[in-house]
Amino acid sequence: MRKYLFPAVAAAMLATSFSAYAADTNTTGVIKAFDLKAMTLTLEDGTVYSLPVGFKDPGLKIGEKVTVAWQMLNTKHQADTVTIDK
């Protein structure tokens, strides 16, 4: 029984690390709404992203094209970074 336990645990740890890595996603879009007080960013497709604690506004404006690096946190899109596309 023990000889099967270690490979099973190792496989589970490896699968978990890959699924965590695959959860990060980049999305490019145009800003529809930006609320620094509520810490949210909405793109024109209607997706709302929660901004991280300590987010520093790089000068975001409505109508500007941005790339959002995000991941799902429960049922919310949690932004990791927001960069302005030129």
Domain count, the chain: 1
> Can you tell me the mean pLDDT for 29-58?
95
> Can you tell me the mean pLDDT for 5-34?
69
CA distance 23 to 7: 25
Say whether pLDDT at 6 is over 90.
no
In-domain check, residue 20: no
Residue 80 domain boundaries: 25-84
Q: What pLDDT, on the 0 to 100 scale, is given for residue 86?
A: 84
CA distance 42 to 13: 35
CA distance 72 to 23: 7
DSSP 3-39: HHHHHHHHHHHHHHHHHHHHT-EEEEEEEEEEETTTT
In-domain check, residue 16: no
CATH number of the domain residue 69 falls in = 2.40.50.320
Say whether pLDDT at 2 is over 90.
no
Dihedrals φ, ψ of 78, to 5°? Answer: -100, 115
- The pLDDT confidence band at residue 40, using thresholds 50, 70 and 90, is very high
